[in-house]
């Protein structure tokens, strides 16, 4: 990646949420292996968590989040924030323009990969000759269904309602998609992206990023999302570059002894692992239905739960679990609060099923570790990821939910797990298992994924040096 002795220099500038930071880290590592110089920007308190995951030669540069009333100093990622504080953080990021304007001429990058909250970035980078690439950390189906200008056509230029959002926008590749309509509770959740909290809405930010950037980069591939990728390209009339699924490298750290010893007590592929990440929270009644449903399955299980608000999670858990539950399942069931080594747990030989919130990184981790997927999406893009995997790819099962409020009962959860883990010779379990293996093999084909990155590197080189 050199032109007259000049190496390509790329800045990575993700939104201050680890669900966004992680894909930027993974892509940084892939690009840096092709002799691209990477400078990674984040707030100071995030750097200790970011640094161990980055390749050694990637530079991390601290940038300051401007003070804003209501935003406590030193809290610099959404994992530590209330929803209200996260909205304030977007407004604080809008005030970073002077800082970044000063920084860019000093760093002299060729390209900036930026996130949705940086819709102001192209206007200060372009005059300096710097290419701006909007890196969407979400699946292409989310951009195709929700985050495109066609959404305003369905609402005659007004803010779309939940009724509008139940159905795909004009031009959506319906013939190639399993998404015909969505349940009411999902459409209602989607109205959030159009809401104004004292600054541009998420929808306005994303659309501005896509309209004003030099090119759009999507963490996906034609094999998995071809019709949706082509629709996004048509909507914006500019290049859409593909990074591939950006499969994470195996984590070299050993699994903690307590979990390794416990999991070793069960047979191969028999354990159901259930986790919803650090920023997704179930209501108390849904926690109870979840754990009772897993108890009904009859297989060993490990559930990881977190609660919003920074309260004592262990104390809260004791008040939420059904009476007598822990005693009944003590031989083969565990419910844990706090962080766990998700990658290492999924890689353990005894884990065979992953019940998750359908975040795409979690889906990928489940597939590459040969786990059957049971999907229980809770917000935002997770709903569309789940439709993609359970509908288009047919590589997992989504838990049945009530139309109005999205609630589920223990029987719904139990039925989904049993279909892929117990009644494997019946439909739908048989076809899901076959497709799960197909996509697992695809995601583990290093040659294919190395080609995705090589092709992306060639496109970057062409943009800058042609």
Residues forming the active site: 20, 115
Residue 247 DSSP class? P
Give the residues across from 38 on adjacent strands. Answer: 10
User: Which residues lie across from 274 on neighbouring strands?
Assistant: 303, 355
- DSSP 3-state of 357: coil
Answer yes or no: are the C-beta atoms of 13 and 60 closer than 8 Å.
Answer: no
Helix (H, G, I), strand (E, B) or coil at 270: coil
Phi-psi region of 461 (alpha: psi -120 to 50; beta: other; left: phi over 0): alpha
Residue with structure tokens 């010893």?
A: 261
Residue recorded with tokens 């565990």: 334
Query: Among residues 334, 340, 337, 332, which one has the least CA distance to residue 365?
Result: 340
Q: Among candidates 72, 75, 50, 71, which has minimal Cα distance to 60?
A: 50
Closest CA to 359 of 307, 396, 412: 396
DSSP one-letter code for 353? E
Helix (H, G, I), strand (E, B) or coil at 261: helix
């Amino acid at each position: 990646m050199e032109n007259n002795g000049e190496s390509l220099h790329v800045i990575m500038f993700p939104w201050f949420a680890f669900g966004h930071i992680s894909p930027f880290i993974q892509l940084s590592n892939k690009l840096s292996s092709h002799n691209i110089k990477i400078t990674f920007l984040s707030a100071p308190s995030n750097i200790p968590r970011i640094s161990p995951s980055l390749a050694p030669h990637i530079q991390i540069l601290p940038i300051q989040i401007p003070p804003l009333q209501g935003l406590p100093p030193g809290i610099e990622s959404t994992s530590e924030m209330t929803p209200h504080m996260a909205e304030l953080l977007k407004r604080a990021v809008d005030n970073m323009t002077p800082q970044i304007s000063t920084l860019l001429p000093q760093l002299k990058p060729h390209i900036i990969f930026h996130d949705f909250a940086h819709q102001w970035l192209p206007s200060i980078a372009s005059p300096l000759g710097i290419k701006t690439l909007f890196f969407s950390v979400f699946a292409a189906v989310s951009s195709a269904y929700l985050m495109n200008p066609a959404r305003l056509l369905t609402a005659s230029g007004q803010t779309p309602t939940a009724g509008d959002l139940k159905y795909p926008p004009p031009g959506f590749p319906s013939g190639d998609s399993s998404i015909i309509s969505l349940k009411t509770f999902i459409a209602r959740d989607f109205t959030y992206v159009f809401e104004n909290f004292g600054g541009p809405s998420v929808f306005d930010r994303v659309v501005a990023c896509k309209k004003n950037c030099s090119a759009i980069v999507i963490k996906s591939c034609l094999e998995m999302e071809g019709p949706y990728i082509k629709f996004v390209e048509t909507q914006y009339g500019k290049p859409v570059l593909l990074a591939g699924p950006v499969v994470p490298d195996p984590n070299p750290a050993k699994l903690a002894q307590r979990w390794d010893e416990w999991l070793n007590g069960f047979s191969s592929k028999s354990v159901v692992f259930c986790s919803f990440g650090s920023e997704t929270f179930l209501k108390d009644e849904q926690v109870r239905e979840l754990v009772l449903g897993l108890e009904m399955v009859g297989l060993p299980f490990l559930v990881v739960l977190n609660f919003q608000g920074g309260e004592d999670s262990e104390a809260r858990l004791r008040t939420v679990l059904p009476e007598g539950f822990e005693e009944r399942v003590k031989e083969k069931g565990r419910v844990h609060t706090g962080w766990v080594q998700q990658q290492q747990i999924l890689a353990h030989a005894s884990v065979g099923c992953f019940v998750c919130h359908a975040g795409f990184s979690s889906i990928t981790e489940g597939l590459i570790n040969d786990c059957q997927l049971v999907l229980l999406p809770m917000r935002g893009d997770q709903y569309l990821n789940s439709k993609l995997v359970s509908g288009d790819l047919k590589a997992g099962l989504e838990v049945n939910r009530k139309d109005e409020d999205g609630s589920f009962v223990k029987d719904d959860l139990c039925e989904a797990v049993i279909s892929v883990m117990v009644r494997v010779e019946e439909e739908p379990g048989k076809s899901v298992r076959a497709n799960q293996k197909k996509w697992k093999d695809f995601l583990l084909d290093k040659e294919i994924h190395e080609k995705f990155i090589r092709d992306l590197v060639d496109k970057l080189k062409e943009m800058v040096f042609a």
